[in-house]
Homo-oligomer: A and B are copies of this chain.
Amino acid sequence: MAEQPIIDFWLSLGSTYTYLAVMRADDVASQNGVTLRWRPFSVRKIMQAMDNRFLAGKPEKYAYMWADIARQAAFYGIPANVPVPHPITEFDLAHRVAILGMREGWGIDFIKDSFRRWYEFRREPGSEPNLSDTLHTLGLDPAAVRAAADAPDIATTLEAETAEARALGIFGAPTFVVGGKELFWGNDRLEHAINWAKTGRIG
């Protein structure tokens, strides 16, 4: 069997549109014979460094974003009790737990469940009670996970991943990267990325 094309799926907890991608990306990829590599990183760190204030101080953009997400969530058949809290407060811990989870094999489930609780119950990912509820659902001990996520090498990995994202030219989330260089920004570019990986065209 030929090797499947690989797409890096750069995602950040607390990124509003990333929710839509997180809930559907694996299904779309597997239906298309593409392997997704989930890469949690801190998009906020990059946006702060770039002074990229996508939403702050822009109520019209906020209002539009929630309406746009609600329409798409209805189309995908996933919950979206918009507006959800944004920006989130505990993004650093959320990302360190996600990095730990990716190492230990429960990262994707953690990310999906964190996002679902954010949009279903309006509880921030990485904060209580979302964090402990999600970890309990995965059969994990929140205190032990928090302690493990405080290990210095977890923070180092998160920083290295974020630095790699920035070096790739990533400025927002989600971003899909094909062949380690072709960027596709946004949930609405997932199909473009998949087609590109397979044919070198977006459709």
Interface, chain A (partner B; CB < 8 A): 50-53, 57-58, 60-61, 63-64, 67-68, 71-72, 74-75, 169-171, 182-185, 188-189, 192, 196, 201-203
Say yes or no: A203 contacts B170, CB within 8 Å.
Answer: no
Please give the distance in Å from A184's CB to the nearest CB on chain B: 8
Please give the distance in Å from A117's CB to the nearest CB on chain B: 25
The verdict on A185 contacting B75 (CB below 8 Å), with A50-B60, A60-B50 known, is: no
Say yes or no: A63 contacts B202, CB within 8 Å.
Answer: no
How far does the alpha carbon of A17 sit from the alpha carbon of B61 in the complex, in Å? 17
Q: Which B residues are CB-close (under 8 A) to A192?
A: 71
Q: Which B residues are CB-close (under 8 A) to A171?
A: 58, 60-61, 64
Q: Which B residues are CB-close (under 8 A) to A53?
A: 53
Ordered by A's residue number, 8 sampled pairs between the chains whose C-beta atoms are within 8 Å are: A50-B60, A53-B53, A58-B171, A64-B183, A68-B184, A68-B189, A71-B202, A72-B202
